[in-house]
């Protein structure tokens, strides 16, 4: 309860607690990925029921974006099952998709795998608002999840994005067999980026049959709430996105995540290839909780720039320098003031 209170307090200092960004995730190219991410059903080497498709046309993407906008989304994130971006006709087509969605007065995000500094600049010139490239887990546990790409490769891609004017979206997944220290390690890595990511998706593993992680036990809602709350505290100005795994969460559980600092969700009945709550269900939940969808291009706060001399991050195992406010003393002071007023009367 103390963690929830601390996270909610930090959240309200930096954000409107009743505003949540709604984003739509669209798989513009599905399946056939050469990588071996243990959680991903789109890897070509795994035998899953995922139906692959070639790169969508610009008109198909525009139609999907218009539907997303009509349902309340302010951002469209396009995902392609590529290991890395390759210059050529397909990348040119993606650039045209970015230009098209940008003209609809919507934020455009892409997750296309690794990309070079020049490719990041070309995406920025086309109007890309954000680039998603998740760290997935801690550097120590990373090799147990993926062998076809190094942890440093992910950091290098984020660095290339930062050299353009595109914002960074980077988070991870819990429930892949990692230890609590790995979850903390992932947050330390994200919070140590300079500046911190503008958006951090927190995903619960959706175990898919045919992948190496098909038998993983689902994470509890309490683990998700704790992860959201901790993320909010260490990255106070970042938008924390409640991402994969929401189909297993009750409205009460999601409400606790919003209270703890989550202020962004993915809407639509599918997240690339895994199930997601229907957008109408989300809008009903928003109405019930008094939440309002965030408008596009609204910067609620600026990402924190980490300075070595005043960083609040501390090595694992060491006690932080800050101390929790003594609310008992504050309540006692209030009681004394009330007592004085009663005496005067």
Active site residues: 33, 37, 40, 77, 109, 169, 241
> Tokens at residue 76, please?
């469209």
Centre a 10 Å sphere on the Cβ of residue 258 and count the other Cβ atoms it contains.
22
DSSP state of 23: E
Report the distance separating Cα 193 and Cα 59, nearest Å: 37
Our separate counts of H helices and E strands in the chain read: 11, 12
> Tokens at residue 196, please?
């911190």
Q: What distances in angstroms separate CA 261 from CA 16, 227, 255, 258, 316, one per listed residue?
A: 10, 10, 10, 5, 23
Report the distance separating Cα 306 and Cα 198, nearest Å: 13
Report the distance separating Cα 285 and Cα 291, nearest Å: 8
Complete DSSP assignment for 32-52 = -B----TT-TTBTTS------
Report the distance separating Cα 238 and Cα 301, nearest Å: 8
Alpha-helical regions (H) of the chain = 2-14, 58-70, 89-102, 117-126, 139-142, 151-162, 180-191, 221-234, 251-259, 279-289, 327-344
């Amino acid at each position: 309860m103390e963690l929830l209170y601390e996270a909610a307090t930090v959240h309200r200092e930096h954000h409107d607690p009743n505003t949540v960004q709604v984003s739509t995730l669209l798989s513009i190219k599905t399946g056939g990925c050469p990588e071996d991410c243990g959680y991903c059903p789109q890897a070509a080497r795994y035998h899953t029921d995922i139906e692959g498709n070639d790169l969508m046309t610009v008109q198909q993407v525009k139609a999907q974006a218009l539907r997303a906008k009509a349902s309340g989304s302010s951002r469209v994130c396009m995902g392609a099952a590529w290991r890395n971006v390759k210059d050529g006709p397909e990348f040119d087509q993606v650039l045209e998709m970015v230009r098209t969605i940008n003209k609809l007065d919507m934020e455009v995000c892409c997750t296309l795998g690794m990309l070079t500094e020049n490719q990041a600049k070309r995406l920025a010139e086309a109007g890309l608002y954000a680039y998603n490239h998740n760290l997935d887990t801690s550097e120590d546990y990373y090799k147990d999840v993926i062998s076809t790409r190094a942890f440093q490769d992910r950091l290098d891609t984020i660095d290339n994005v930062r050299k353009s004017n595109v914002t960074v979206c980077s988070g991870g997944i819990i429930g892949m067999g990692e230890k609590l220290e790995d979850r903390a390690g992932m947050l330390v890595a994200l919070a140590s980026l300079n500046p911190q990511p503008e958006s951090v998706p927190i995903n619960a593993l959706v175990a898919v049959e045919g992948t190496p992680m098909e038998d993983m036990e689902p994470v509890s809602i309490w683990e998700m709430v704790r992860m959201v709350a901790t993320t909010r505290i260490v990255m106070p100005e970042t938008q924390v996105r409640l991402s994969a795994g929401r189909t297993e969460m009750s409205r009460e559980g999601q409400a606790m995540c919003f209270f703890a600092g989550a202020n962004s969700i993915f809407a639509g009945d599918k997240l690339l290839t895994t199930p997601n709550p229907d957008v109408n269900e989300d809008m009903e939940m928003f109405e019930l909780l008094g939440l309002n969808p965030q408008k596009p291009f609204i910067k609620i706060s600026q990402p924190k720039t980490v300075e070595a001399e005043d960083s609040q991050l501390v090595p694992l195992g060491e006690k932080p320098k800050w101390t929790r406010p003594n609310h008992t003393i504050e309540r006692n002071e209030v009681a004394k003031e009330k007592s004085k007023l009663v005496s005067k009367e």
